[in-house]
């Protein structure tokens, strides 16, 4: 009922979104490795196989190229598949299907073909899954015309973005950070769709703009809280959509604070942070009172040992230091 809330996790919000989609549209089905009887590598689809059966919760072979291609074909044939790829690292085996087929077929067919496929994948570090399961490659996909790319960080976005993605006529890639799955909170019982475009101001501020997305959002909010204790007012922007980027929200924030730091779990070289920084320089250079700062992962394969993994990816103290550096210039 309207006005009621439920206490749930990010994982639960994604599961509820999948369940909503299955109930709402008989063309929707979920496919991927271990999504069925096992309940998903991150337990997102736990229980769905029992409720919907093997026709709609489809376990696939360990072949990302094969089952992603099957999902693209199903979308072209009128279905609404949700393709789950266990980790972004494994998605590299499906790059040909995603980049050369899903992203290009509308263009190459002169608008006659659409590919309404949603591809979900886990991303990021923090669970000691080592170098082949922990990287953040969102910028690679955000580089590709023909795709929409989003990174839901909040419970509302985790539930609502999938709804909107399934209604989009073109391919959508959703990145779910592994460290968010256990995050708890209250969610409206009747939560519905939310846009898969546009950034959100998650905290108002006047001294420095902290621009981030996905798994780094809550570290950035923690950093902003610590900065407030030191008398520094930080505005936090959650990009939400990585392609297309919401330049207007970012530029409006920089025009207010005159300083910016971009936080991105990707590597610094060729990063999404580099793209955001360049856009700020192109569109808001004369608003800046200091160079745009960046906080990114160390340029190494993500280590397995916990202390090295933590050291390799952005943490709240790194964000605080970068914000103070921007203010000191």
Question: For each of the chain's 329 residues, which pLDDT tens digit applies?
Answer: 457 999 999 999 999 999 999 999 999 999 999 999 999 999 999 999 999 999 999 999 999 999 999 999 999 999 999 999 999 999 999 999 999 999 999 999 999 999 999 999 999 999 999 999 999 999 999 999 999 999 999 999 999 999 999 999 999 999 999 999 999 999 998 899 999 999 999 999 999 999 999 999 999 999 999 999 999 999 999 999 999 999 999 999 999 999 999 999 999 999 999 999 999 999 999 999 999 999 999 999 999 999 999 999 999 999 999 999 999 98
**Chain position carrying tokens 């990145």:** 175
Q: Do 182 and 206 lie in a common domain? A: no
**Does the residue 195 lie in any domain?**
no
Rg (CA), the chain: 20
Q: Do 40 and 182 lie in a common domain? A: yes
64 is catalytic: yes
- CATH number for the domain spanning 306: value is 3.40.50.920
- Tokens linked to 39: 């309940």
Residue that terminates a domain, selected from 155, 188, 221: 188
Q: Do 167 and 243 lie in a common domain? A: no
- Tokens linked to 137: 């490659």
- CATH number for the domain spanning 64: value is 3.40.50.970
Q: Do 176 and 214 lie in a common domain? A: no
Q: Do 210 and 169 lie in a common domain? A: no
- Tokens linked to 298: 């160390």
Q: Do 150 and 281 lie in a common domain? A: no
**Does the residue 178 lie in any domain?**
yes
pLDDT for 1:
43
**Does the residue 193 lie in any domain?**
no
Q: Do 50 and 172 lie in a common domain? A: yes
Per the residue annotation, which of 84, 133, 265, 309 is the catalytic one? 133
What residue numbers bound the domain in which 262 lies?
200-328
For the packed helices 316-328 and 217-229, what is the interaxial angle rounded to 10 degrees?
Answer: 50
Per-residue pLDDT tens over the stretch 129-139: 999 999 999 99
**Does the residue 301 lie in any domain?**
yes
Per the residue annotation, which of 33, 64, 84, 275 is the catalytic one? 64
Q: Do 207 and 293 lie in a common domain? A: yes
Q: Do 204 and 183 lie in a common domain? A: no
Q: Do 158 and 252 lie in a common domain? A: no
107 is catalytic: no
């Amino acid at each position: 009922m309207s006005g009621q809330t439920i206490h749930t996790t990010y994982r639960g919000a994604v599961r509820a979104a999948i369940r909503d989609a299955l109930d709402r549209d008989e063309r929707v089905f979920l496919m991927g490795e271990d999504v069925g009887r096992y309940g998903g590598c991150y337990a997102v689809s736990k229980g769905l196989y029992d409720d919907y059966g093997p026709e709609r919760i489809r376990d696939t072979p360990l072949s990302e190229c094969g089952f992603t291609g099957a999902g693209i074909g199903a979308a072209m044939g009128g279905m609404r598949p949700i393709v789950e790829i266990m980790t972004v690292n494994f998605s590299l085996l499906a790059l040909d299907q995603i980049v050369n087929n899903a992203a290009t077929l509308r263009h190459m067919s002169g608008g006659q073909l659409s590919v309404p496929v949603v591809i979900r994948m886990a991303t990021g570090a923090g669970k000691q899954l080592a170098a082949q399961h922990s990287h953040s490659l969102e910028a690679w996909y955000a580089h590709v015309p023909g795709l929409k790319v989003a990174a839901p960080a909040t419970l509302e976005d985790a539930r609502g973005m999938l709804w909107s993605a399934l209604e989009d006529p073109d391919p959508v890639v959703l990145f779910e950070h592994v460290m968010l799955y256990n995050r708890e909170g209250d969610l409206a019982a009747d939560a519905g769709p939310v846009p898969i475009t546009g950034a959100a101001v998650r905290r108002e501020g006047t001294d420095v703009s902290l621009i981030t997305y996905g798994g780094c959002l809550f570290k950035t909010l923690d950093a902003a809280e610590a900065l407030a204790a030191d008398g520094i007012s930080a505005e936090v922007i959650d990009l939400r959509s990585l392609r297309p980027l919401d330049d207007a929200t970012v530029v409006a924030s920089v025009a207010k604070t005159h300083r910016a730091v971009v936080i991105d779990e990707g590597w610094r070289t060729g990063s999404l942070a580099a793209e955001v920084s360049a856009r700020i320089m192109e569109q808001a250079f004369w608003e800046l009172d200091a160079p745009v700062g960046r906080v990114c992962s160390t340029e190494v394969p993500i280590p397995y040992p916990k202390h090295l993994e933590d050291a390799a990816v952005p943490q709240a103290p790194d964000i605080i230091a970068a914000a103070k550096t921007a203010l000191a210039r």
